[in-house]
Amino acid sequence: MKFNIMIVDDSKSVLETLQWLLMDEPYYLFAFDNPLDALKVIKTLEWAVVVAGRSIRKMDGLEFLKRVRADSPHTTGIIMTDDNEITGELDTSYSECVYRLVKKPLKRYDIKQAVKMAIAHYETNVGSKEHKTLKV
């Protein structure tokens, strides 16, 4: 079964790198450089995992994942962050929408492992039911 994965970052190079790293995995990948555009489609599919940059233009990555969680409560969130962006533990208001933190610069193994673990977490919480297809 293939899972829907959303990637949101305002850096085109980060989006392209993640798509390249994950292209051989059993995922349908959707990349957005604008979190507002991503939110418009969140209800069109069942999303297993959303990977978002911590600092993205137009909306903070944590706030973005909080809004995703409101519309898609079973979606598992991953935040990509620089060491200096989050110095301590996540605020408790975000702990339910962020499953994992992945440090930038991204390392191939770390991001692939984080997505695999997030999918396992998603499957545990939702089960492996069929996912809706994109309605365009």
Domain assignment of residue 119, yes or no: yes
The pLDDT tens digits for 73-115 are: 999 999 998 865 554 555 555 677 899 989 888 899 999 999 9
User: What would the mean pLDDT of 64-76 be, rounded to a whole number?
Assistant: 94
Please say if the pLDDT value at position 61 is more than 80: yes
Asked whether residue 131 is domain-assigned, the answer is no
Q: What is the CATH number of the domain that holds 41?
A: 3.40.50.2300
The pLDDT of residue 35 is 96
In a domain, 55, yes or no: yes
Q: Is 132 within the bounds of a domain?
A: no
Counting the structural domains of the chain, the total is 1
Q: Looking at the domain assignment, is residue 98 inside a domain?
A: yes
Whether 134 is covered by a domain: the verdict is: no
For the cut 90, the answer to whether the pLDDT of residue 51 exceeds it is yes
Residue 135 located in a structural domain? no
Of residues 29 and 105, more confidence is placed in 29
**What proportions of the chain, in percent to the nearest 5, are helix, strand and coil?**
35, 20, 45
Give the structural domain span for 69: 3-126
> The sheet that has 76-81: what strands, in order across it?
27-32, 3-8, 49-53, 76-81, 100-103
Instruction: Tell me if 87 is assigned to some domain.
Output: yes
Quick one: which of 93, 58, 57, 60 has its CA closest to 79? 60
